[in-house]
């Protein structure tokens, strides 16, 4: 903490010096501005990065930025450093008076009030007050510097477009991978579940046809197997896409997930209305996959699902009391992350060994157009 304060103060002091230099150059060397503008901007970028932890993108920044930054740095820095210096002088005077034992009475007159005190008290109170005001001035200078840097040293229109294209390209490839992973999962479900029950059913009916004496018992077993087959088909269809999500909405679809879960699931639904279909579908799959992981891998005993919204975003948080240690790079969670990122959302997985897992997805209320 002290290191951060020291760096910020050093940044304000350095900004005061560079601000004075920039204003002098603007006044005295304006015809040569093409020569010194780029080096001064590079110097400001380095100062912001090292002392203010403010990263900026490479790009053109003209004399307008240097003029505004110079004024803010010189005036704000001079005021802040002057107040801090005066505050330290008052504190030093109060300390010296306390060490030497010199007590000089000071009479303070206010409207209707006459106060008798001493130099040590005046120095201590005045010093602390000036240092506090100077500290707030430093914070103001840092905030102004960062805002100017974000305005003038941030990415331009072409750079923002390039980044957006890169994001869309990445999210598109991520969605393709997520779809492929989902297809493989469906194929495994069909092969390991539905197909096995279908083979068992065919074998039982075949045995019943060739063994009339045991036909009644075999047909009964075949009926039981057919019910298992139907349950498995219904489960696979539900995991692919639940019809309740379209017909009844997210609340009912999540209630169905909670009902199917072998671990108690508590759902706190705080959404006033239905999100747009893309967002609603993403919320459903994030919740379902997180619950499935908690049941299968985390050995959880209780799962809590909380859905909230504000003016711009919709969020879901799934928490469990399992063993933790979930891997965000795993197939299931990474697929969910790609699905959320494709909608300009934020996906987070936190937790520790033995401390449970917390999955959070925050999505915009309106899906991006592309």
Structure confidence by residue, pLDDT tens digits, 280-313:
888 988 898 888 888 887 788 899 999 999 888 9
Structural domain boundaries, residue 12: 2-154
How many domains, the chain?
3
Shared-domain flag, residues 145 and 15:
yes
Under the banding of pLDDT at 50, 70 and 90, the label for residue 207 is confident
Shared-domain flag, residues 228 and 278:
no
β-bridge pairing 357-364 and 313-320: antiparallel
The pLDDT score that the predictor gives to residue 305 is: 94
CA distances from 136 to 47, 79, 142, 282, 338 (A): 20, 11, 10, 44, 43
- Out of 43-57, 80-94, 102-116, 117-131, least confident range: 102-116
Q: How far apart are alpha carbons 153 and 345 in whole angstroms?
A: 26
Shared-domain flag, residues 189 and 216:
yes
CB burial of 312-342 (b: ≥16 within 10 Å; e: otherwise) equals eebbbbbbbbbbbebeeeeebbbbbbbbbbb
Partners of 362 in the β-ladder: 315, 346
Q: How far apart are alpha carbons 231 and 49 in whole angstroms?
A: 60
Shared-domain flag, residues 82 and 95:
yes
How many helices (DSSP H) and strands (DSSP E) are in the chain?
A: 12, 7
More confident: 8 or 106:
8
Shared-domain flag, residues 119 and 74:
yes
Q: How far apart are alpha carbons 58 and 205 in whole angstroms?
A: 73
Domain boundary among 183, 211, 240: 240
The pLDDT tens digits of the residues spanning 330-361 come to 666 777 888 788 788 889 888 777 778 899 99
Shared-domain flag, residues 131 and 11:
yes
Q: What are phi and psi of 107, to 5 degrees?
A: -105, 125
Contact 333, 305 (CB under 8 A): no
Per-residue pLDDT for 171 more than 70? no
């Amino acid at each position: 903490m002290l290191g951060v304060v020291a760096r910020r103060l050093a940044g304000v002091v350095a900004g005061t010096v560079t601000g004075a230099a920039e204003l002098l150059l603007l006044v005295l060397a304006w015809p040569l501005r093409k020569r010194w503008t780029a080096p001064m901007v590079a110097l400001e970028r380095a100062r912001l990065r090292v002392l203010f932890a403010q990263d900026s993108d490479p790009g053109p920044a003209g004399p307008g930025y240097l003029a505004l930054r110079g004024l803010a740095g010189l005036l704000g820095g001079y005021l802040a450093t002057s107040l801090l210096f005066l505050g330290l002088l008052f504190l030093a005077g109060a300390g010296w008076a306390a060490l030497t034992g010199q007590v000089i009475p000071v009479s303070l007159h206010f409207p209707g009030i006459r106060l008798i005190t001493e130099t040590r008290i005046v120095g201590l109170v005045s010093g602390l007050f000036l240092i506090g005001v100077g500290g707030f001035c430093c914070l103001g200078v840092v905030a102004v510097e960062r805002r100017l840097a974000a305005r003038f040293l941030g990415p331009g229109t072409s750079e923002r477009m390039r980044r957006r294209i890169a994001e869309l390209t990445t999210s598109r490839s991520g969605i393709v991978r997520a779809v492929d992973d989902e297809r493989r999962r469906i194929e495994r479900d069909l092969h390991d579940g539905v197909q096995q029950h279908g083979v068992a059913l065919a074998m039982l009916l075949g045995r019943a046809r060739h063994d009339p004496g045991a036909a009644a018992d075999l047909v009964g077993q075949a009926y039981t197997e057919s019910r298992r087959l139907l349950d498995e088909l219904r489960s696979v269809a539900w995991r692919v896409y639940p019809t309740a999500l379209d017909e009844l909405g997210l609340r009912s679809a999540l209630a169905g997930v909670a009902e199917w879960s072998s671990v108690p699931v508590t759902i706190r639904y705080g959404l006033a209305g239905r999100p747009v279909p893309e967002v609603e579908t993403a919320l459903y799959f994030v919740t379902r996959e997180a619950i499935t992981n908690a049941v299968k891998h985390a050995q959880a005993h209780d799962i809590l699902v909380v859905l909230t919204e504000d003016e711009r975003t919709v969020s879901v948080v799934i928490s469990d009391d399992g063993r933790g240690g979930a891997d965000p790079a795993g197939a299931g969670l990474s697929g969910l992350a790609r699905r959320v990122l494709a909608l300009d959302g934020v996906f987070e997985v936190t937790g520790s060994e033995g401390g449970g897992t917390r999955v959070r997805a925050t999505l915009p209320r309106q899906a991006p157009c592309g």
